[in-house]
Amino acid sequence: MDSLKLPIENLSFDDCWELLEDDTLGRLAIVVDGHPEVFPVNYVVHRRSIAFRTAAGSKLWGAMMERPAALEIDGYDPATELAWSVVVRGDTQVIEDQEDMDAVDSLGLEPWQPGEKSNYIRLNAKALTGRRFQVNRPDVWNTRLQDRRRASFE
């Protein structure tokens, strides 16, 4: 199967939000000292925005400056051989309202990494894009053993 001929489905906003709500881990991209940095964050969707907790540092500083950021998630379903990705772009801000922090916590937001993560950050979506596509069949004989596509064909 030629991957150039496989259709790409652009996801609706609702589809994107559903995939975001079903996931817990994304990659947050922010600008630090004039260059891009990417951080894994566990998150929840709260009021159609992304909420996560962090310690003092780059993510908190970026949020205090209300700088642009992006969050990306992706996945692959071996049963359907479909892959997808969603990107949220917007501005970050510190959540200071205790009621909002309690609401975020009630959604099961608990940091994976040990340590004090007392700062709550929100990524307000200004742009949301997503796509889903059928993956190209791997050449099982030449594909790396770690390639997730192999599970569909072995």
Read off the CATH number of the domain in which 108 is found. 2.30.110.10
pLDDT at 152: 63
Residue 1 lies in a domain: no
Instruction: Reply yes or no on whether the pLDDT at 114 is more than 70.
Output: yes
Cα 17 to the center of its chain, rounded Å: 11
Full residue range of the structural domain in which residue 51 is found: 9-134
CB 128 within 8 A of CB 99: no
Residue 60 lies in a domain: yes
Helix (H), strand (E) at residue 128: strand 119-134
Give this prediction's pTM.
0.83
What digits encode the pLDDT tens for the residues 69-90? 999 999 988 888 899 999 999 9
One-character DSSP codes across 86-101? EEEEEEEEEE--HHHH
Residue 146 lies in a domain: no
Residue 34 lies in a domain: yes
**Structural domain total, the chain:** 1
Q: How many CB atoms lie within 10 A of CB 85?
A: 17
pLDDT at 1: 46
pLDDT at 66: 66
